[in-house]
Chains A and B, each alone.
Chain A
Amino acid sequence: MTFEIHNASKAFKDLNVLQDFSMEMEDHKIICIVGPSGAGKTTLLNIMSGVIKPDAGSLSGFADKTVSYLFQEPRLLPWKTVDQNIEFVLKDKMSKNDYHRLVDQYVDMVGLADFRHYYPRQLSGGMKQRVAIARAFAYPADLLLMDEPFDGLDPQLKRSLINAFFCLWQLEKRSVFFVTHDMREALLLGDKIIVLTDRPARIKGHIQNPIPYWDRHSENVEFQRIENQLNELVINPTC
């Protein structure tokens, strides 16, 4: 157990988003956090990244870690090309040779080698999110925080992005915290799925998903079993 959150609370004005929230997480795993919208998932990520401080409680294991991010939107600088957008976050961290090599490598791996000199305006939504994925992986980080980065994409595109994501992750297994409200996504990617209650968020339960990534499909009986388990946990009333 390397990442821990102890009794964290956070309120915005009178709205209690987190109250006495605790969790423990293993590293080098993809951990999915699912919960209803407005349950405080983004707040949780922001606390992990240090962008906001909890009103009470403490964290351990996060402080000395470098973090990269995938947001709901690609967040690319419109006046920079694909290459330049990735260089933008790398330049302060390494030598010119190193970041050129990394940019080359990751642009290639997300299948955008032919588009590296394109501006975001010239790319489709899925391609832009690929650039954001390449940027997140090219950036040297121990921790990757993802806030619904596959939200709002059509199912086919979503699947291909998730595959692209997984291939990159496999090469260098970072600790991933992946927040989503989509249970299919959680089941596809998560080694462990944590289900949150409604606001203020508490842990309703968690599910281990030991099935290898490429066997995670509806025809697999074991996968179905885990899916049912997750559905039950989500639907099950808390009181």
Chain B
Amino acid sequence: MANKKWPENWQDVTPGCIVSEPGSASQYHTGDWRAQKPIWDNTKCIKCGVCYIFCPEGCIIEKEDGFFEADLDYCKGCGICAHECWPLAIKMVEEG
């Protein structure tokens, strides 16, 4: 997991902490925050994509076979996907 590089010293902080490089949030791996991870049961999944739509982090990916999975580099384990999944195909499982 490549981690975001913080400015070395206070002198290196940009004025007003301005970030001039677009999309730099992807350098920060919010997956570190996770206590639970979503596990899909593809026998129940109907490929509706509700999890993909509701994921606030935008880290749920549709695979080639049409099923979904979370990019664990960014998934914070919030559980919104599991809450919204009406066929109950997603279960939140403790990490570790």
Q: Is this pair of chains taken from one and the same complex?
A: no
Taking Cβ atoms with an 8 Å cutoff, the residues of B that contact A are none
Taking Cβ atoms with an 8 Å cutoff, the residues of A that contact B are none
